Every structure is written in structure tokens, then in C-alpha cells.
């Protein structure tokens, strides 16, 4: 897809924008994230994030210090609950990786986020956005899929919209971990205590654009509040499957040097399989958002 006049207002900072799909994703060019960004660049990027939900910056050289510097412009950074996955000297930066250290231990979160989710939706103040940087990417596989919860919301059948309006999703990290991450060391009691289940509106309003978005996910929303567990779960899965149909999805194929910045308030995402013979080393920061409403 070519640059489009739909990117309005046009960027004022000299960056260029190329849309990546009908509903979601834009590639941002003519910016060097290895240096602090200007206030004009910040304003443009923030506007474009709210509009396109996923921003792709290719060919970036981004040491951890600059990753933190860029991400911090958008809000407070929140490290991973599992502290052993942090980058040395940068507790706010988490490794997502299948690489092992000298002792044979995983240095990062392995097989992370393979089920549709919005990052850390199990916290009272979930993430505004996440920034994932490819240090070493497999030559094939390990794509990340992103789905527009704005577009999915706007296309909801009336019956499903009526069920979700006023409902609250129960987001539960310990349940998620036990269900999907049983290949890892079990969570410690201390880690579990940091993330008791929380409820958020099943349909939320984006605080900057006012657009409505679906905010339940198969991966992190265990059920719906006040509903029989299995029936609530069935509705969560149904909504999540509706929201992640191909017409709402952009699939990112990673190259080393890519930084992808996504808006967790208007998207779900998931990682996809790859051949574990390949090394994969990614760094992630997450920016805290507001309380969903």
C-alpha cells in the first residue's frame, strides 16, 4: 500500500508514513531512534500511534539506553513481573528470547504471548503501549500478528455488542501462566501476589481518540465478571475469535533492527511459531497507561 492522504494531519516533523493494511499498522520512515527524538517527532508519533495502532520503524540501531529513552517519552515504564528476564542494568527492559546463558537457563521469556492478548491487561493500570525491538530475528517464522480492536468493535454483530456492553472481563495472570506457560518454572508466590485478577470493561473507550475498542482476549481474560465461569469463558473466546479475523489483522515479519510500537488500548497481538534451531533475541519495554474505562 502506498503513502496515503488519509494520514491527516500530515506529519510536521519530517517523518514519512506508509500504511501497512486497511485497518491497522503504519511504517514510519526518516527517523533515527538512536538519538533523542524532538518534541515535533514525539507529537507526530503519538498522533500516528492513536490513529494506526501499530507503528513499524525499520533499520534502527537501538541500544537498551535509547530504547528506554524513547519509550519513556510516552509514560512510565513497567518491567516484567518475572525479574530474571530483565536486561542487565535495565530493569524496565525485558528479553523475549529462546537463548540460554552459560548455565543453560533461559535469559528471557520463551514462547511468550502465543495466544491473543493485550500486554499486561491483568494489571489495574494496563499498558498504554509496548515497544519490541529485534536484536536477532529468525530468517523465517516468529512473525507477530496484530488485530485492530477498533475495527473489530465497529464490525461487532448487535447481539455480541449487547452482551459485551456493560460486561467486565476478568484478567488473570496466574491462570494464564498455569494454562499457557506450563513449560516454564512455576510462578513464585511473590510473583503471583503481584498480579491478582482484575476486572476491566469488555468494551473500552480510547482515552485519546474516544473510539471504542474490544478489550477481552483469549489469552489473558479468564471469564466475564459475575457470570458462570464456563459461560463467561465461552463468550470471551467467541469475542476474541471474532476480533482476530484476518480482515482486522496486520502480520509483521521481523528483520533485525525493527522496532515495533503498538497501542495496547486498541489492539491484541500474538506471537507465531518458528524453528527453535534459530536464535531469537528481542527486547521489550512497556509503557503504563490509564485505568480502562
The 3-state secondary structure of the chain, one letter per residue: CCCCCCCCCCCCCCCEEEECCCCCCEEEECCCCCCCCCHHHHHHHHHHHHHHCEEEECCCCCCHHHHHHHHHCCCCECCCCCHHHEECCEEEEEEEECCECCCCCECCECCCCCCCECCCCCCCCCEEEEEEEEEECCCCCCCEEEEEHHHHHHCCCHHHHHHHCCCEEEECHHHHHHHHCCCCCCCCHHHHHCCCCEEEECEEECCCCCCEEECCCCCCEEEECCCCHHHHHHHHHHHHHHHCCHHHEEEECCCCCCEEEEECCCEEEEECCCCCCCCCEEEEEEEECCCCC
Instruction: Return the range that interacts with Fe ion (CB under 5 A); candidates 64-72, 112-120, 164-172, 210-218.
Output: 112-120
Which CB atom, from 113 or from 169, has the smaller least distance to Fe ion? 113
Scan residues 231-290 and list those touching Fe ion (CB under 5 A). Answer: none
Q: Does 92 interact with Fe ion (rule: CB under 5 A)? A: no
Least separation in angstroms between residue 206's CB and Fe ion is 19
Q: Does 126 interact with Fe ion (rule: CB under 5 A)? A: no
Which CB atom, from 7 or from 118, has the smaller least distance to Fe ion? 118
Least separation in angstroms between residue 111's CB and Fe ion is 12
**What number of other Cβ atoms are within 10 A of residue 285's Cβ?**
26
Least separation in angstroms between residue 148's CB and Fe ion is 16
Tell me how many degrees the CA angle 239-242-248 measures, rounded to the nearest 5. Answer: 125
Which CB atom, from 60 or from 130, has the smaller least distance to Fe ion? 130
Q: Does 201 interact with Fe ion (rule: CB under 5 A)? A: no
Which CB atom, from 15 or from 152, has the smaller least distance to Fe ion? 152
Which CB atom, from 27 or from 119, has the smaller least distance to Fe ion? 119
Residue nearest to Fe ion (CB): 113
Least separation in angstroms between residue 117's CB and Fe ion is 6
Confirm if 270 and 114 have CB atoms less than 8 A apart.
yes
Least separation in angstroms between residue 269's CB and Fe ion is 6
Instruction: Return the range that interacts with Fe ion (CB under 5 A); candidates 37-45, 79-87, 96-104, 114-122.
Output: 114-122
Least separation in angstroms between residue 234's CB and Fe ion is 24
Burial (CB < 10 A; 0-12, 13-18, 19+), residue 155, is middle
Out of 108, 113, 169, 289, the residue judged to bind Fe ion by CB under 5 A = 113
Query: What is d(CA 35, CA 70) in angstroms, rounded to the nearest whole number?
Result: 9
Instruction: Return the range that interacts with Fe ion (CB under 5 A); candidates 39-47, 67-75, 105-113, 222-230.
Output: 105-113
Instruction: Return the range that interacts with Fe ion (CB under 5 A); candidates 111-119, 144-152, 208-216, 227-235.
Output: 111-119
Which CB atom, from 122 or from 167, has the smaller least distance to Fe ion? 122
Out of 44, 92, 119, 258, the residue judged to bind Fe ion by CB under 5 A = 119
Least separation in angstroms between residue 62's CB and Fe ion is 18
Q: Which residues bind Fe ion (CB under 5 A)?
A: 113, 119
Amino acid at each position: 500500500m502506498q503513502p496515503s492522504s488519509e494520514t491527516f494531519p500530515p506529519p510536521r516533523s519530517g517523518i514519512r508514513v506508509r500504511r501497512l493494511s486497511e485497518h491497522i499498522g503504519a511504517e514510519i520512515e526518516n527517523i533515527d531512534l538512536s538519538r533523542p527524538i524532538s518534541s515535533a517527532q514525539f507529537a507526530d508519533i503519538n498522533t500516528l500511534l492513536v490513529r494506526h495502532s501499530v507503528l513499524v520503524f525499520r533499520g534502527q540501531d537501538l541500544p537498551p539506553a535509547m530504547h528506554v529513552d524513547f519509550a519513556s517519552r510516552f509514560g512510565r515504564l513497567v518491567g516484567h513481573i518475572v525479574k530474571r528476564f530483565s536486561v542487565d542494568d535495565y530493569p524496565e527492559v525485558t528479553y523475549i528470547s529462546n537463548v540460554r546463558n552459560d548455565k543453560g537457563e533461559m535469559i528471557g521469556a520463551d514462547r511468550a504471548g502465543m495466544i491473543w492478548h493485550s500486554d499486561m491487561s491483568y494489571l489495574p493500570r494496563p499498558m498504554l503501549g509496548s515497544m519490541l525491538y529485534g536484536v536477532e530475528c529468525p530468517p523465517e517464522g516468529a512473525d507477530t500478528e496484530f488485530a485492530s480492536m477498533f475495527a473489530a468493535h465497529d464490525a461487532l454483530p448487535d447481539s455480541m455488542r449487547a452482551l459485551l456492553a456493560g460486561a467486565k472481563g476478568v484478567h488473570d495472570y496466574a491462570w494464564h501462566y498455569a494454562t499457557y506457560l506450563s513449560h516454564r518454572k512455576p510462578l513464585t508466590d511473590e510473583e503471583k501476589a503481584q498480579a491478582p485478577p482484575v476486572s476491566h470493561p469488555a468494551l473500552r473507550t480510547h482515552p485519546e481518540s474516544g473510539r471504542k475498542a474490544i478489550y477481552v482476549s483469549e489469552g489473558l481474560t479468564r471469564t466475564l465478571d459475575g457470570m458462570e465461569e464456563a459461560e463467561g469463558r465461552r463468550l470471551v473466546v467467541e469475542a476474541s475469535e471474532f476480533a482476530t479475523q484476518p480482515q482486522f489483522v496486520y502480520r509483521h515479519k521481523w528483520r533485525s533492527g525493527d522496532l515495533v510500537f503498538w497501542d495496547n488500548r486498541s489492539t491484541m497481538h500474538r506471537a507465531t511459531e518458528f524453528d527453535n534451531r534459530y536464535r531469537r533475541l528481542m527486547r521489550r519495554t512497556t509503557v503504563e497507561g490509564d485505568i480502562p474505562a
